[in-house]
Structure 1
Amino acid sequence: MLENNLSQLEQLVSELVQENKALQAATQQIRNELAQLKDENEALQMSALEQDELHSTTAARIQALVQLASGSASASPSPAQA
């Protein structure tokens, strides 16, 4: 009886060791994927900031052109007034 229990315990310990190894491998894979996703996220955030800056610069240039065009239109007489 004791030998049978000991044999079962050895089998269970062996199974737990194998399962633990599999879980450690899966954990490492998940950590690697997380690190890769963090890098990708950082790159995307930088890209978004660059795009936002570009859009702000473009909007400022358009606004300046609109103001310039508005100033030119009010400063020079229209063809109907000439």
Structure 2
Amino acid sequence: MLENTLPQLEQLIEQIIEKNTQLKNQIAELEQQKSLLVDENEMLQLEALEGEEKQKQTSTVLANLLGKLQSVEELS
């Protein structure tokens, strides 16, 4: 029985080591993907903030133009 058990145990250990190596590689790949996604997310957030700022500036300019038009109409 011991003759069969020891080779089986060795085979199982080798399989576990191989699986562990595969999982470590998968973790490294996922960490790299996570890093890329974090960078992309930060970039998108900055773009959104810049878009909001441009929208506020445009709104202010339009409000000023509207005010000028209304004051010209009142004078006419």
Provide TM-score, normalisation by structure 2.
Answer: 0.97
Rounded to whole Å, the distance in 2 between the matches of 1:3 and 1:67 is 95
Gap regions ≥5 residues in structure 1: 77-82
Task: Give 2:41's aligned residue.
Answer: 41
Higher helix share: 2
Determine what percentage of the aligned residue pairs are the same residue.
Answer: 34
Deviation track 1:6-62 (CA, whole Å, cap 9, x = no partner) reads 110000000000000000000100000000000010001001100100010001100
Who wins on radius of gyration, i.e. which is larger? 1
What count of residue pairs does the alignment treat as equivalent?
Answer: 76
Structure 2 letter corresponding to 1:21: T
Task: Give 1:54's aligned residue.
Answer: 54
Q: After TM superposition, where is structure 1 displaced by more than 2 Å over at least 4 residues in a row?
A: none
| CA-atom RMSD in angstroms | 0.6
Rounded to whole Å, the distance in 2 between the matches of 1:52 and 1:44 is 12
